[in-house]
Amino acid sequence: MNDLYRSFIEFINEYTTFFEHVVTKEEEKYRAMISYDLEKIEHALSEHQSIIKKVEIYEKKREKIQREMGYENLSLKELMEKLMKDSEELVALYRRFKMSIENAKYFNEKSLNFAKENLEFMEELNPVGVTDPSLYNAKGNTIENNIKSSILNKKI
């Protein structure tokens, strides 16, 4: 087995381990969101930004390794499918990699859907563009704004 091939397997193993860690962080982000704990949400979102930057670094490294191997025109999936024919180790590694990415996507989508539903709910409660300062009664009808006596209107 040549050094580039071994280097590629080591890299994919490291990248897979990273994505398994991402799954944990995505699940934590979802749990923070459903807890409505602002501090936890802010922390989870900060970690999410860090993960995005790390993925970019991993992708650049992957592209470099593939270029060195002479496979710069293949996607990672295409390269893995090509190389898996000769390696059971790579088959198992690819399954782990693919599963970790699918799980990370699952929790990220749950978080996004939860956030979207809450934004829609907030929009229903307080529609954007409502700037009318009128007062409303319990039935939602406008009340004339010329109330004569209120403790808030009196000079002290």
User: How many beta carbons lie within 10 A of that of residue 44, not counting itself?
Assistant: 20
Whether the full predicted model's pTM is greater than 0.85, yes or no, is no
Give me the mean pLDDT over the 51-56 stretch: 94
Instruction: With residue 143 as reference, give the H or E element that holds it.
Output: strand 142-143
For residue 1, is pLDDT > 60?
Answer: no
Q: What is the pLDDT of residues 61-75, one digit of tens each?
A: 999 999 999 998 988
Domain boundaries, the chain: 3-130
CB-CB contact of 80 with 26 (8 Å): no
For residue 124, is pLDDT > 90?
Answer: no
Fold for 3-130, please state it: Methane Monooxygenase Hydroxylase; Chain G, domain 1 (1.20.58)
- The SS3 of residue 70 is coil
138 Cβ contact partners less than 8 Å away, ≥ 6 residues apart: none
